[in-house]
């Protein structure tokens, strides 16, 4: 939970919970406005591709093009801060599968439409503030190459996440049944995707990245993972992270189809056939991300194992592996007890403790 100093208008709130940054909310003097001050977390592992070097620069470019996003304030020459959106996250106090209200569904549709309208050529003109591309040169694909876009995502997951960042966890992946070449099946499916014109993607549309303000309006925050690519990827990511009921998922799919189709009819070509492929990638990606994050959670700062979290972690990883069984071609799924034993082995805990902890899970 965030800590707020009791110093009247000079109070500072934070650190706010977040993966990429340690964030504090600070009031600007004599303005009544609160802003976010952020510091990147040390030793951070990136599990997703990024296209823009500066989230703040990107948001300045999007002002007037995308509705209800954080305002960028220049408090000093070259020092940019985001205005803090006052309100609650969409996930505050609700079940993860809860349906959106009619109002919020309409505002989500408006967001999809605004993103679809921002085509790749628009960003070639986004030089007023010097917005820098990270996915430049060889990383830049031909507009509409949806198959190439998914291949890039697969390469990033396999090469950067599994082989490079995941090198210290290779034995853990092996014990869980996830081995070299597990993404080959998805790579073959990527060849079947229909071409769709590229547009701006948020890349991380989950409940904690939506803020509901005092007026009940929906704001979209945390644009660090924004990229240019297949518009269907934002829908797949959103559905994967939101964990809607089947009925609500159908509503959101129809909403996306209508919103994107009105702005860019070619952007919805082949979407019904291709959505399951992108959802399969998201389930597979979660395995690589969650296995590593869980290992980090279980190792305390002093290097010792935090065994209190093991039962919860083992259940979560077993669930993620089950969801990704087909996309990763897993022939056998480990039980919760076997997942516990794999983590205990990786942590170097003695055999006797392994047996006891696995039994508790």
What confidence tier does 181 reach under pLDDT thresholds 50, 70, 90? very high
Distances (CA, A) of 38 to 31, 49, 86, 137, 173: 20, 20, 17, 29, 33
Q: In this predicted model, which residue has the larger pLDDT, 96 or 137?
A: 96
Q: In this predicted model, which residue has the larger pLDDT, 4 or 334?
A: 334
Q: In this predicted model, which residue has the larger pLDDT, 57 or 314?
A: 314
Residue 193 CA to residue 157 CA, distance in Å, equals 19
Report the pLDDT value the prediction gives residue 95, as an integer from 0 to 100.
59
Percent of the chain with pLDDT over 70: 84
Determine which helix (DSSP H) or strand (DSSP E) holds 224, and give its type and residue range: none
Q: Decide if pLDDT at 333 tops 80.
A: yes
SS3 state at 229: strand
Q: Decide if pLDDT at 98 tops 50.
A: yes
Average pLDDT, the chain: 87
Report the pLDDT value the prediction gives residue 40, as an integer from 0 to 100.
66
What confidence tier does 19 reach under pLDDT thresholds 50, 70, 90? low
Q: Decide if pLDDT at 129 tops 60.
A: no
Determine which helix (DSSP H) or strand (DSSP E) holds 294, and give its type and residue range: helix 271-298
* Residues 6 or more apart whose Cβ sits within 8 Å of residue 89: 207, 208, 209, 210, 211, 212
- Nearest 10 degrees: Cα torsion 320, 323, 327, 331: 90
Residue 224 CA to residue 48 CA, distance in Å, equals 10
Residue 48 CA to residue 314 CA, distance in Å, equals 23
Residue 111 CA to residue 252 CA, distance in Å, equals 12
What confidence tier does 30 reach under pLDDT thresholds 50, 70, 90? confident
Task: Please state the φ and ψ torsions of residue 289, each to the nearest 5 degrees.
Answer: -65, -50
Q: What one-character DSSP code corresponds to residue 290? A: H
pLDDT digits (tens, 9 = 90+) for 225-242: 999 999 999 999 999 999
What confidence tier does 347 reach under pLDDT thresholds 50, 70, 90? very high
Contact call for residues 33 and 23 (beta carbons, < 8 A)? no
pLDDT digits (tens, 9 = 90+) for 71-81: 999 887 778 89
Q: In this predicted model, which residue has the larger pLDDT, 26 or 130?
A: 26
């Amino acid at each position: 939970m965030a800590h707020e100093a009791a110093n009247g208008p000079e109070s500072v709130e934070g650190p706010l919970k977040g993966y990429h940054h340690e964030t504090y909310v600070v009031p600007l003097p004599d303005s009544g406005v609160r802003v976010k001050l952020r510091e990147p977390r040390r030793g951070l592992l990136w599990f997703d591709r990024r296209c823009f070097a500066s989230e703040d620069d990107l948001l300045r470019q999007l002002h007037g093009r995308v509705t209800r996003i954080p305002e960028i304030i220049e408090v000093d020459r070259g020092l940019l801060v985001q205005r803090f959106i006052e309100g609650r996250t969409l996930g505050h106090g609700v079940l993860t599968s809860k349906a959106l209200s009619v109002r919020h569904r309409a505002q989500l549709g408006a967001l999809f439409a605004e993103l679809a309208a921002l085509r790749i050529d628009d960003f070639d003109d986004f030089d007023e503030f010097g917005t820098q591309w990270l996915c430049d040169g060889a990383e830049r694909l031909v507009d509409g190459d949806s198959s190439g876009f998914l291949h890039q995502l697969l390469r990033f997951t396999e090469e950067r996440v599994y082989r490079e960042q995941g090198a210290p966890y290779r034995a853990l992946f092996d014990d869980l049944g996830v081995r070299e070449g597990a993404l080959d099946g998805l790579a073959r499916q990527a060849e079947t995707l229909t071409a769709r014109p590229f547009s701006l993607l948020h890349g991380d549309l989950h409940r904690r990245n939506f803020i509901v303000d005092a007026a009940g309006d929906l704001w979209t925050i945390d644009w660090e993972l924004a990229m240019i690519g297949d518009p269907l990827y934002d829908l797949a990511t959103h559905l994967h992270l939101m964990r809607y009921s089947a009925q609500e998922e159908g509503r959101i799919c129809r909403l996306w189809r209508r919103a994107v189709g009105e702005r860019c009819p070619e952007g919805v070509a082949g979407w019904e056939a291709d959505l399951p492929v992108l959802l399969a990638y998201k389930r597979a990606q979660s395995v690589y991300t969650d296995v590593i994050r869980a290992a980090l959670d279980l190792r305390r700062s002093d290097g010792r194992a935090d065994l209190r979290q093991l039962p919860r972690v083992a259940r979560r990883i077993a669930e993620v592996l089950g969801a990704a069984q087909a996309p990763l071609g897993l022939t056998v799924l480990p039980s919760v007890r076997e997942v516990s034993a794999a983590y205990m082995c990786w942590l170097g805990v003695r055999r006797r403790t392994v047996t006891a902890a696995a039994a508790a899970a």
